Structure 1
Amino acid sequence: MSDDTAARAGEVVRAADGRALLRFRRTHTEPVAEVWSAVTDPDRCARWFGRWSGDGRPGGTVELVLTSDEDGGGPPSTVLVRECAPPHRLAVDIREGDGAPWELSVTLTPHGDGTVLVFEQVLPEGFSPADAGPGWHWYLDRLAAVLAGAPMPDWEATLAAAAPHYRA
């Protein structure tokens, strides 16, 4: 894996309650408000992750459809908004079928003129980082591309470079 890919890779850490988290830390040159908009505005979010509609306030639910060609989109997922504190923190549960929800959070912190983004997923018991790490790595690379006005990363190239890190 290249040093650049390794620097952007997520890591498994333990939360205060003992649960395993897959955590990514990315630094962007754009200010917090710009990154927040790219994460939460339905039209901007659709450019890198998925289109959503519904009640985005805490306790509300939205329907999310992934928009990238590589993952095929698929049926809508129900997303429960657990926390929304603009422009710094968003925490959601994504439900697909009868399985455990994917507990996700994004925290944005000013860093000079830019932003530090911390993305976390609670790893359900028995769930390997290899099952989610390369995908989140790719989506966060897509977010960076949208923010920078750069070309979108290639899924196959990202998978080949990042997957070994998450199997370790």
Structure 2
Amino acid sequence: MTISVDPIATAGLVTREVRTGERAGAPTRVAVARRTYATDPADLWDALTDPQRIPRWFLPVSGDLRVGGRYSLTGNASGVVERCDAPRLLALTWEMGPQVSWVEVELAPVGDGTTLELRHEAPVDPEFWTQYGPGAVGVGWDLALLGLGLHLDTGEPVDPDDGAGYALTADGRAFVRASAQGWTAAAVAAGEDARDMQAAGERTVTFYTVDPSQPSTEETPTEETATGETPTE
């Protein structure tokens, strides 16, 4: 399945929030994304946890997929499954090299659908935060939620090549910009400086929408990028 959506409207389906937190006495930042899907909690939970379905919208996954076990997403993060309360709450560590953060996904029925709330909490270097803001992680998750929505709507897998190149298309660039603007607004609403966050948002847009095969003068935001550039790899 190719990606054919209204990029601005689809980015607008996500509600975004930025919080501060603390882990083991260290300050953290929390990016919160919410989107409602037209399916029941059981189906959404299955799409999030079935190793046969996860690659249809995200990445191939392997490992011991139970509480206490380690998982690995091909070419991306690995970690430990900390909680798995079907069909309501999934909690994982999110490990990329030496950097450890935490992801929680919570489902709640609403009307004829289900609201997914994703919370990604991480210790973030202040300089990195000033450079990229919450969009470094948030845009990646918005792209993943886009892929999830396409899969849930059709039952079909997102074409991996189409997903990998989506952010480099005109529609993909529009989606990334709308997503980054949403995360900028969330950061400002949380008390961050508007000018700083707008500049950070522009740098995040550049990272996601520049062809990685071409030379770039931009520093790569590896510290807190959640899911890479696309909903599938």
Under TM normalisation by the shorter chain, which class is it? Answer: 0.7 to 0.9
Q: TM-score, normalised by structure 1?
A: 0.81
- Unaligned 5+ residue runs, structure 1? 66-73
- Residue 54 of structure 1 pairs with residue 60 of structure 2: no
Cα deviations across residues 26-66 of structure 1 (Å, max 9, x unaligned)?
1111000000011111121101111212222211111221x
Q: Secondary structure at the match of 1:57?
A: coil
Name the SS of the counterpart of 1:46 in structure 2: helix
Are residue 10 (structure 1) and residue 22 (structure 2) matched? no
Structure 1 stretch displaced more, 32-41 or 19-28: 19-28
2:113 is aligned with 1:96: no
CA gap of 1:141–1:54, structure 2 versus 1, over 3 A, is: same
51, 54, 61: which one aligns with 1:42: 51
1:165 to 162, 182, 189: 182
Residue 68 of structure 2 aligns to a residue in which SS?
A: coil
RMSD value over aligned CA atoms? 2.5
Report the equivalent of 1:141.
146
Aligned-residue offset at 1:4: 5.2
Q: Distance in 1 between matches of 2:55 and 2:34?
A: 21
Task: Kindly indicate which of the two structures has a greater share of residues assigned to helix.
Answer: 2
2:41 alignment counterpart: 32
AA aligned opposite 1:137: D
Report the AA paired with residue 66 of structure 2: R
Equivalent residue number for residue 221 of structure 2: none
Determine which structure has the larger strand proportion and give its number.
Answer: 1
C-alpha distance 46-27 of structure 1, shift in aligned 2 (>3 A): same
Distance in structure 1 (CA, Å) of the matches to 2:31 and 2:64: 27
Q: Which residue does 2:190 correspond to in 1?
A: none
Instruction: Report SS of the residue matched to 1:30.
Output: coil
The structure having more radius of gyration, on CA atoms, is 2
The aligned length equals 158
Match of 2:120 in 1: 121
- What runs of 5+ residues in structure 2 fail to find an aligned partner? 1-6, 185-196, 198-233
Structure 1 runs (4+) deviating above 3 angstroms are 1-4, 14-19, 150-154
